[in-house]
Chains A and B, each alone.
Chain A
Amino acid sequence: MSTNSATVPELPAALSFGLRPLPLAPLAAALDLVVKSAARRHPAMFARLGDQAGKRFLIEPTDLPFVVVMTPRPDDPEVQVVRPGEEPATDARIAGPLAALVGLVHGAYDGDALFFSRDLTVEGDMSAVVALRNALDDAEIDLVAEAAAVLGPLAQPAETVGRIAASLAERITGIAFARPRSGS
């Protein structure tokens, strides 16, 4: 584990560039499935958001050619994927390299430390940002497990394949796509 900002990797520019022409619709559909499934699997996380759950968040991976707009309502979570500059009005914006955002979700990075070091930029409604950060931090989310869970009965084999793919991706990009084991 590291809370030291110097270790936040950036996605290789060539890879980021290569992703640019890809259509966003399939990604949006997949993310929508994952978030809806996560809402079912982690009711405590969504409950923790309290009255901040109705806020609209702009999640901006600065090394990717798209941004995510999310409203984490427990009963009806909403996710959109749009090109930068095409996003609707939002309550709060969280921007940073994909690695920082993923690390934050996994609890591998400390949000405050990322923010002090300016690896992460937050703007807008700080109560909403703090609530989301705290709720995610408590939920001990693993993105690979969340993605696999969408597949229902196939979740287990999918998770195994996902972990191999994640570790492969980690070797290429330096980004931990699966949650590091606690205490590592």
Chain B
Amino acid sequence: MVSVVNEMATNGADDARNTLTLGPLLFNWSPEQWRDYHHRIADEAPVERVCVGEVVCSKRLPFYEDDIPGVIERLQRGGKTVVLSSLALPTTARERGMIRDLVAMPGVVVEANDVSACGPLAGRPHAIGPLINVYNEGTLAFMEKQGAVLVCLPPELPLAAIGALAGAARTAVVETWAFGRAPLAISARCYHARVHGLAKDSCQFICNQDPDGLAVDTLEGKEFLSVNGVQTLSRTVVNHVADLGTLTARGVRAFRLSPHTCDMVAVAQVFRDVLDGAITGAEGEARIAALMPGAIFANGFLHGRPGHQRVAAAAG
């Protein structure tokens, strides 16, 4: 426990080492896929941290919760810091109780994805996920005072705000969204069930049909959003691989990659290579595009533009 915490806490703003975090798997994959994905990440992915846990829908958890201890152990054996992610919108008593189970787990850092988790986590080192609104240095300072050592910023923040926050951080590592469909909204209503004409309580886990989200198009056929149960994500895949130089220049040292069905080990390797200067950002973009044929990439949020847009990164 202590070593884990030290790893997180000592990577403060002065440390120049750039780190990668694999975010929690947001989609409903089969238990086999879930396990295989985490095992492969544990053994092969060049990342420092891996988030594990159910963020979107508590009903999915029983399918794989028995595998979690084994996965944690394997990730730790693979040299990764394990971060346990909490639920984004806990409402029922059972869901609210889940945070207590997470806090009780030894040797891991818990990531709050709802303010309800911040109370139980206060006073111990913990992480703040991208679904908690840390928009400014006042909130960041308060979270640091509470014990936050890793703060992943909301994906809609523009570069100016990210830079200001990275500069203001004193004890926490500031992380930004770097790869994957951006989480845009969370609701009490399940859109997967709604689209299939099912009630939320008898949803038949229909979201398992769309391991990268269900496509939502406009009536003109323009690609717009992705539905993942109660969550709505971007249709575009956020990709900051060519913006890494700009972000590190502003003091960002941690980058979050959000899992999709593409080869995430390869995605992580591309980000690692760009961060290490082994390949250029443009080369990184080409490699990521090859790993996700048909995907539309975007980085508009970072550049203060509509999030679905793609802005060509500055050379280098």
Touching in the complex, A and B, CB below 8 A? no
Q: List chain A positions with a Cβ less than 8 A from chain B.
A: none
